[in-house]
Amino acid sequence: MNVRLVKPDEMTGAAALADSIFRDGEQVSMAAGFPYLFSAVTSYSFGAYGEDGRMTAFMGLLPSAVRIGAARLNVFSVGAVCTAPEARGHGVAGKLLDAVKEQVAAADGDLILVSGTRSLYTRAGCRTFGTIRRYTLTPEMAPALREAASGAAAAAQAGAGAADTAAPPASQAGASGGAAAAEPFLCREWTRSDLPALAKLAASREVAFEQSQWDLAMLIDAQAYARCVKLGHRVYVAERRGVPAAFLVAALPGSLRPKMTPFAIEWAGETPAVAALLAHALETAAPEKLDVLASRHDARLAALLQEHAPFADEQILGTVYVPDAARLFRRLKPYLAGLQPEKAAGLEGSPGAADRGIRLSYPGLDDLELDADAWIALLFDGAFVMPEEAADSAAAPVLPEGTPAQWRETLTGLFPVPFPSTSGLNYI
């Protein structure tokens, strides 16, 4: 069995293998749903080949960048993992995963995101992570949600009037500020001419996968996750005075029988405008239900939805692997410095005693050793905290039992780190 990078002229065969495992006669090819993953130009994917040179297994690998405040992480996503029936039971997938890890290390990768959670990945050090809050909306909630959006917009305008010299949050690009903030939003479906404005809104988010205009257009058209569950994309824009203030990509039912509840794929812009778009989608598309998965950095939207919709907390889709804990710490330093400059300046991270672990140092404290699992837990785990709970114990970072109180105090306010949804447009 030969494991190596897939050659450009082999990508068609890789897509055919993936189609045979993941697609039925109603669905488009995986190559159409995941154009970057099956691209001869952008993909880092690996294949396993028999003695006859035929591909018998495939593991898709695609690089991307995740922006968290001032930090920028090199992220690699693993997906479309499949093995031909006759090649199963020989440890092929494990060999592919080993090759992927080596490739990511060589490419200076900070995280590996895996769409799966099965034992193949958990045995190899991948861990479930993070906390998101799933809100379930119904069309009956639309009027109240629209009213709440209007109230939130008016409150934002009043706040801007009280401090009109303050800059708006980066996540609220597209706001024109001043008296216009309280005007009603015009909600409509997008047109291609909206793309530059949508890309600007997407780029304004504090926490997100980086997406160029080309990326945004390609990913909206590809409908990666939506097509996997027999839904389709609808894109909505909320504008004020002709200027887009927010957009929403929703996975909604079409001609096929859906495999899961319709859901909001991705959004950006002013929180009240996003809420207005959710109400608009409920009213115009009329799905029986619409799920909204809010991450920690979506707390303002979550606070608005929480008044109207039931919710449940769950982990982020898939698993994560951290190849080098100390390198990831260094990459996150600009983000941490933006939160609490004095604390961040004193906090240092170096390779720990455990494999892929970390040793944290801070003036006046004994070093804190965390193994790989504890480091992932500190980074991403913990309760979903609403804005009014930020000073509560619920906001404390997740640390091993017995961690000194001084370390808990030092790391509070820096961790956990927010992370964008892995089930959005960049789903692999």
- The pLDDT value given to residue 161: 56
Residue 407 has pLDDT above 90, yes or no: yes
- Identical fold between 2-109 and 132-314: yes
- What pTM does this model have? 0.91
Q: Do 16 and 30 meet the contact criterion of CB atoms below 8 Å apart?
A: no
Give the rounded distance of the alpha carbon of 109 from its chain centre. Answer: 17
Residue percentage of the chain with pLDDT more than 70 = 93
- The pLDDT value given to residue 390: 60
Residue 174 has pLDDT above 70, yes or no: no
Residue 357 has pLDDT above 80, yes or no: yes
144's tokens: 């109240």
Q: How confident is the model at residue 156 (pLDDT cuts 50, 70, 90)?
A: confident
CB-based burial of residue 133 (10 Å sphere; 0-12 exposed, 13-18 middle, 19+ buried)?
buried
Q: What is the mean pLDDT of residues 92-108?
A: 97
- Report the b/e string of 60-95 with b at 16+ CB within 10 A: bbbbbebbbbebbbbbbbbbbbbbbeebeeeebbeb
The neighbouring-strand residues paired with 208 are 67
Sheet holding 263-269, edge to edge: 186-189, 232-240, 243-252, 263-269, 290-294, 132-137, 311-314
On the CB side of 301, how many CA atoms lie within 13 Å of its CA? 29
pLDDT tens per residue across span 34-73:
999 999 899 999 999 999 999 999 999 999 999 999 999 9
DSSP state of 127: B
Q: Do 84 and 17 meet the contact criterion of CB atoms below 8 Å apart?
A: yes
Give the rounded distance of the alpha carbon of 351 from its chain centre. Answer: 27
CB-based burial of residue 181 (10 Å sphere; 0-12 exposed, 13-18 middle, 19+ buried)?
buried
- The pLDDT value given to residue 392: 60
Which fold, 132-314? Aminopeptidase (3.40.630)
Residue percentage of the chain with pLDDT more than 90 = 88
Average predicted confidence (pLDDT) for the chain: 93
Domain segments of the chain as ranges = 2-109, 132-314
Classify domain 2-109 by CATH number: 3.40.630.30
Cα end-to-end span (Å), the chain: 26
Q: Residue 29 is inside which H or E element, if any?
A: none
Residue 164 has pLDDT above 60, yes or no: no
pLDDT tens per residue across span 223-249:
999 999 999 999 999 999 999 999 999
- The pLDDT value given to residue 169: 41
Torsion of CA 212, 242, 135, 154, to 10 degrees: 130
For residue 253, cis peptide bond before it (omega within 30 degrees of 0): no
- The pLDDT value given to residue 385: 85
- The pLDDT value given to residue 170: 37
Q: What is the mean pLDDT of residues 151-159?
A: 82
